[in-house]
Amino acid sequence: MAKASSSKKVARAAGLGGSRAYGSRPPWGFYFAVVLLVILGVVGVYNSREYRQNQINNQGNGQPAVNMATSWFEGFAVDICGKLQPPVKTNKDPFGITTKGDGIIYINPTVKSAAGHNATLGKFASAIGMTLNAAEIQLPGGKLYQVGDNCQGKPGHVYVMTWSSPQAPRADGVLQDKQAINTATGQEDTCSPDCNSGVLLAKNQLVTIAFVPAPLKGKTPSILQPPQSVVSKLTSLVANGGTTTTTPVPSSPSTTAASTKTGSTKPSSTKTSSTKTSSTKTSAVTATTVAGSTTKPKPKPTSKTTATGGGATAGSTPKAGPGGTSAKKK
């Protein structure tokens, strides 16, 4: 009996010992699989990023090029339900595509991701903080308009229309509502606005982003052209190679006024001084003449008589004819 019990105890201990040894063995295979998956993931992400970066750089090799000598200019406006919105004012310029609050898009890319076929209306919108895609539009700090929202009593939609030049009439606007593939580059030129590809920016072109009701089937939506102020500014920028001529404020009127005022003061004071001196001399002459003319008529009060009479003394009798005659000659 005792023998059998001891055998069972030994067998039980051996079984427990074996299980403990097995349980303490690390799962190296599992760890290896996890590490391998992480490495493959990192390599895959890196390769995908490099591939995408190469794609973007290839698309950015055309015009507008990075750091051009002369910028491109494009006039733009935003039409919300038939009303042109005020020009966008911003200080943002992360890509070299921005605006200055004058209704002009200034295009001079600083990176390839915004150059060539990457220079799109969507890139401009994202640069200035504007939401723009086929379903919604929102100006920086403004109201969000989504497809289907009420607009002139009808559901509104997002549209983009371009004009080839500032002189193009409103009727010549081209609605960007179809995807067109450039056979030379294989890149998308236009689309129903999309922030990734979008309508390509162009030199000396007009573009209006609109949220207006959908037209009747087969008709074109009524979209406003950028205002005349934008057309004039664009024409001037293109004609002058990007520099606007401004008339300098003349500073001469204020200077002239000041100098005239100063000049008039000096003659006035001189005149006053000479007047006072003259009156003083005249009064002295008068007094001398009155004192010395006891026997003869008073001579005419002139400056020369004053000089002659200045030497006379009160109570003296002047000579009759010769003195008076010589005074008149002098």
Give domain status of residue 210, yes or no: yes
Could you tell me if 115 and 64 are in contact, meaning their C-beta atoms sit under 8 angstroms apart?
Answer: yes
Q: What is the pLDDT of residue 133?
A: 86
The number of folded domains in the chain is 1
Q: Which two tokens stand for residue 162?
A: 């371009």
H/E stretch holding 219: none
What Cα–Cα distance (Å) separates residue 121 from each residue in 118, 128, 199?
9, 11, 5
Instruction: State residue 9's pLDDT score.
Output: 67
Chain segment 208-235, per-residue pLDDT in tens: 999 999 888 888 899 999 999 999 999 9
Q: Decide: 104 and 230 in contact? Cβ < 8 Å.
A: yes
Q: Is 114 inside a domain boundary?
A: yes
Task: Rank 37-51, 62-76, 176-190 by mean pLDDT and report only the highest.
Answer: 62-76
Long-range own/partner contacts, residues 94-97 (CB < 8 A, 24 or more apart): 94/127, 95/123, 95/127, 96/66, 96/67, 97/123, 97/124, 97/127, 97/201
- Inside any domain, residue 250: no
| Backbone phi and psi for residue 274, each to the nearest 5 degrees, phi listed first | -65, -30
- Inform me whether the pLDDT recorded for 31 exceeds 50: yes
Asked, for residue 134, whether it belongs to a domain, the answer is yes
| pLDDT tens readout for residues 87-111 | 999 999 999 999 999 999 999 999 9
Domain that holds residue 158: 72-239
Q: Is 37 or 1 the better-scoring residue by pLDDT?
A: 37
Please check whether residue 82 is in contact with residue 152, taking contact to mean a CB–CB distance below 8 angstroms: yes
Is the model's pLDDT at 192 over the cut of 70?
Answer: no
Quick: pLDDT tens for 11-25.
666 665 555 555 567
Beta strands, E only, the chain: 72-80, 83-84, 97-99, 104-107, 131-132, 136-138, 144-146, 150-151, 154-163, 174-175, 180-181, 188-190, 205-213
Which H helix or E strand runs over 272? helix 252-292
Asked whether residue 269 is domain-assigned, the answer is: no
User: Residue 116 falls within a domain, yes or no?
Assistant: yes
141 domain-assigned: yes
β-pair partners for 79: 84, 210
Inside any domain, residue 170:
yes
Query: What count of Cα atoms within 13 Å lies in the side-chain half-sphere of residue 309?
Result: 26
